[in-house]
Amino acid sequence: MTTPSLDFFSFHNIINNELTSTATTRHGINPANSQPNPDAPVSSQEDLDRAVQAARVAFKKWSKTPIAERRAALHAYASAIEVNADGFAKTLTMEQGKPLAQSATEVGMASTWIRGISALVIPQNVIEETEDRKIIQRFTPMGVVGAIVPWNFPVLLAIGKVAQAVYAGNAVIIKPSPFTPYCDLKLAELATHFFPPGVVQCLSGDDSLGPMITEHPGIDKISFTGSILTGRRVMASCAKTLKRVTLELGGNDPAIICDDVDIDAIIPKIGILSYLCSSQICMMIKRLYVHENIYDAFLEKLVAFVKTLKVGEGTEADVFVGPVQNKMQFDKTKELFNSITTDRLKIALGGSIQDSAGYFIHPTIIDNPPENSRIVQEEPFAPILPVMKWSDEDDVIGKANALETGLGASVWSKDFERATRIADQLESGVVWVNSHFDVAPNAPFGGHKQSGMGVEWGVTGLLGYCNSQTQWLKKF
Ligand code: NAD
């Protein structure tokens, strides 16, 4: 089969492997210059009903398709994404705003995730085996999955859900964020070449589409990634039909820097892991606790490094910080920046937002704000970082754990025992030592407390797309 190459100019819903149009359309905005992006479908209840109907039909056969065949289809799909990587990366920068190199990385991760997830083994556990009976636990596909995706990582987060759903034998309907529908529609269009009709579908729409999906009685599971507020609404809606839910929600990740670190060696890592994707990543460093013995030198060097991060359009060479993704996020950030004055915070870098054609915000660092300030308590999802002093280990652990979020956290020290002692006491779904935001398709990730429910990726994530079935097998 020749590898299909996509056009990235016209965008359609994918229902039952057909490119379909809707009565009304809408368009996203290129956040770097406020220019309109191409038209995208606005799906109605009728479009959703058709997609669910197709998915239910597809599920009957796909769930019985041998797993080796499902894996082979996924591998071919991953290769086709690689062939079209350039178009995906450019489209991602156009719709999301992130620099082209970061878009290319995200698209590359999509193929890696498909291959990594489809290499996992869905277990079958023998619980007891005696002469007269056997008890086994096996994992069966659930049915139709609704994959609700946010605007910060539309390619990787959609693909993670698609790969898990489809590999486990389900049908999946992708719902992109209205801010970033384009790559997700093209991912589903590409999927038509590799999967039977109804297995992978994508509907774009306005704000009414998400609730239609969570309410739909023909959908069995929702995998949702987005904000805590929306996560609560999703769960409440899913309760009506007792849908299974996985929720990947917001975070406010602390990083604890001990006084024995090699400052020069870690500054670039800390800087990058605080401002990647203009800090619009759920697991970026959002609260930086630096030991008081090194605080002044660390802050000075961090400011010097962050100043070198070039801000601009994602298509320009060497840009590291693109615009924030949308006007809502830009306005929310402006409002948070007002708290610099109202909370009387000390600015180490940046601190103001200029109006321009795009939603650009220069990286900002706040010097030792009080714990109760908004900038410490809230997830900014924008390039502003509070840096706080600490001296007592128990106290800093308490502060790191004090919020209702618990997505990621990190500890940085040359003393591995000290670092792991602190790490073991952190209340978050992922903890890193001397690193932050490492992710892999075979490693589960998810949040404690209000940062989520369940995990994605790894065998545990994959089993979230399966029902558990216990079989009692009497031999006579
Ligand atoms: P959001 O909650 O506004 O939207 C996420 C998705 O949900 C979008 O597709 C949106 O259209 C849809 N949606 C909105 N209202 C809905 C409803 N009532 N029912 C069903 N669907 C609905 O989030 P966002 O602004 O797109 O993303 C930013 C947030 O996502 C941040 O808080 C960030 O930390 C979080 N996030 C978490 C992870 C993670 O894995 N934990 C990853 C990325 C982003």
What's the CA-to-centroid distance between 181 and ligand 1, angstroms?
A: 13
**Would you state the pLDDT for residue 408?**
98
Tell me the average pLDDT across 350-354: 94
Work out the pLDDT band at 125, boundaries 50, 70, 90: very high
CA-wise closest residue to 216 among 53, 24, 58, 455: 53
What's the CA-to-centroid distance between 410 and ligand 1, angstroms?
A: 24
Work out the pLDDT band at 312, boundaries 50, 70, 90: very high
Work out the pLDDT band at 443, boundaries 50, 70, 90: very high
pLDDT tens digit sequence for 229-285: 999 999 999 999 999 999 999 999 999 999 999 999 999 999 999 999 999 999 999
Sheet (strand 13-15) strand order: 18-20, 13-15, 200-202, 171-175, 144-148, 221-225, 244-248, 452-453
Work out the pLDDT band at 14, boundaries 50, 70, 90: very high
What's the CA-to-centroid distance between 354 and ligand 1, angstroms?
A: 27
10 Å Cβ neighbour count for 20? 16
Residue closest by Cα to atom 30 of ligand 1: 226
What's the CA-to-centroid distance between 227 and ligand 1, angstroms?
A: 4
What's the CA-to-centroid distance between 430 and ligand 1, angstroms?
A: 20
What's the CA-to-centroid distance between 330 and ligand 1, angstroms?
A: 16
Indicate if the pLDDT at residue 314 is higher than 80.
yes
Indicate if the pLDDT at residue 166 is higher than 70.
yes
Q: Is 46 a catalytic residue?
A: no
DSSP symbols for 382-407: SSEEEEEEE--HHHHHHHHT-SSEES
pLDDT tens digit sequence for 365-376: 999 999 999 999
Atom of ligand 1 nearest to the CA of 228: 32
Pocket of ligand 1, candidates 185, 212, 227, 234: which has the most ligand atoms within 8 Å of its Cβ, to mutate? 227
Q: Is the dihedral of CA 17, 247, 60, 159 positive or negative?
A: positive
Work out the pLDDT band at 4, boundaries 50, 70, 90: confident
Residues with CB under 6 A from ligand 1: 148-153, 175, 177-178, 210-211, 214, 225-227, 230, 233-234, 248-251, 282, 379, 381, 407, 447, 452
In eight-state DSSP terms, residue 192 is T
pTM across the whole model: 0.98
Are the C-beta atoms of residues 412 and 371 closer than 8 Å to each other? no
Select which of 183, 202, 258, 282 is catalytic. 282
Decide: helix, strand or coil at residue 431: strand
Indicate if the pLDDT at residue 134 is higher than 70.
yes
Integer CA distances (angstroms), 187 to 2, 71, 203, in order: 17, 17, 12
**Would you state the pLDDT for residue 355?**
87
**Would you state the pLDDT for residue 1?**
67
Q: In this structure, are strands 452-453 and 244-248 parallel, antiparallel, or unpaired?
A: antiparallel
**Would you state the pLDDT for residue 438?**
98
pLDDT tens digit sequence for 406-436: 999 999 999 999 999 999 999 999 999 999 9
**Would you state the pLDDT for residue 3?**
78
Mean pLDDT of the chain: 97
pLDDT tens digit sequence for 26-81: 999 999 999 999 999 999 999 999 999 999 999 999 999 999 999 999 999 999 99
Pocket of ligand 1, candidates 282, 331, 455: which has the most ligand atoms within 8 Å of its Cβ, to mutate? 282
Atom of ligand 1 nearest to the CA of 230: 2
CA atoms within 13 A on the CB side of 98: 26
**Would you state the pLDDT for residue 409?**
98
Q: Is 183 a catalytic residue?
A: no
Pocket of ligand 1, candidates 202, 230, 252: which has the most ligand atoms within 8 Å of its Cβ, to mutate? 230
Atom of ligand 1 nearest to the CA of 176: 9
Instruction: Record the tokens describing residue 244, joined without a space.
Output: 């299974």
Residue percentage of the chain with pLDDT more than 90: 98
